[in-house]
Amino acid sequence: MKFIATLFWTFILVQVLGYVASSMTNTEYSIQTISIIGVIATVLIAILAAAIPKPEVETH
Read off the pLDDT of residues 27-47 as tens digits, 9 standing for 90 and up: 999 999 999 999 999 999 999
Domain ranges of the chain: 2-51
Higher pLDDT, 57 or 44: 44
User: Is the pLDDT at 16 greater than 90, yes or no?
Assistant: yes
User: Is the pLDDT at 9 greater than 80, yes or no?
Assistant: yes
Res 7: pLDDT: 86
- Tell me 27's DSSP state: -
What's the pTM? 0.74
Mean pLDDT of all residues belonging to the chain: 91
8 Å CB contact between 11 and 36: no
